[in-house]
Amino acid sequence: MDKLNREDLLSLEQYAEQRADFRDRVMAHKKNRRVNIGPHLTLYFEDRLTIQYQIQEMLRIEKIFEADAIQEELDTYNPLIPDGSNLKATAMFEFEDVELRQKRLRELVGVENQIWLQVDGFEKVYAIANEDLERSTDEKTSAVHFLRLELSNDMAMAAQSNAGISLGVGHDLYRHETVLEGQTTRSLINDLSST
């Protein structure tokens, strides 16, 4: 999947004019890119469109219009766009109660390294977490992680040929899995290239 460059972005004025329509398009797109694993973990799968939206929003909020600052945003967010051999996701642990969240994040140290994807007929692939910076300590994990799930060419081809895809977590205190279905499967398969 091609990375974004400055020419792909709208100016602040253009974005202001088109924001409502663009946002509606992105929100509809994102519905098929969200996967819940158990009651508290959601993976939000990123692609070129979701990252373009994120960058446009950052430029708008921060009122960024200088070339160097725009390039800095591109350099920050482009690594979250899948490369054709992987899926990339923002993982969020969500607990409504603050005290419970703090307790569970202490209990779930290392959980980000136990998130997996499995294409039917192949071994599980474990997420490579937080390549940009460490988000956990020995005492607690973060509520947000950035994941890369790297697939072999054979796995990508099998997925594109309708092999089942499962996602799960193998942490001792958070063992859940789910099978992808329908539009979600089709949307994520579009991130893969079998060449």
**Tokens coding 79:** 């690594």
Q: In the structure, what pLDDT confidence band is assigned to residue 17 with cuts at 50, 70 and 90? A: very high
- The reported pTM is 0.89
Are 33 and 91 contacting, i.e. CB atoms less than 8 angstroms apart?
no
pLDDT in tens, 41-58: 999 999 999 999 999 999
Q: Give the pairing of strands 165-171 and 115-119.
A: antiparallel
Q: In the structure, what pLDDT confidence band is assigned to residue 106 with cuts at 50, 70 and 90? A: very high
Q: Residue 60 carries which side chain, given as an amino acid letter?
A: R
What's the chain's Rg over C-alpha atoms? Answer: 18
- Domain ranges, ordered by start, for the chain: 6-189
Euclidean distance between CA atoms 76 and 82, whole angstroms = 14
pLDDT the model gives residue 137: 74
Q: In the structure, what pLDDT confidence band is assigned to residue 155 with cuts at 50, 70 and 90? A: very high
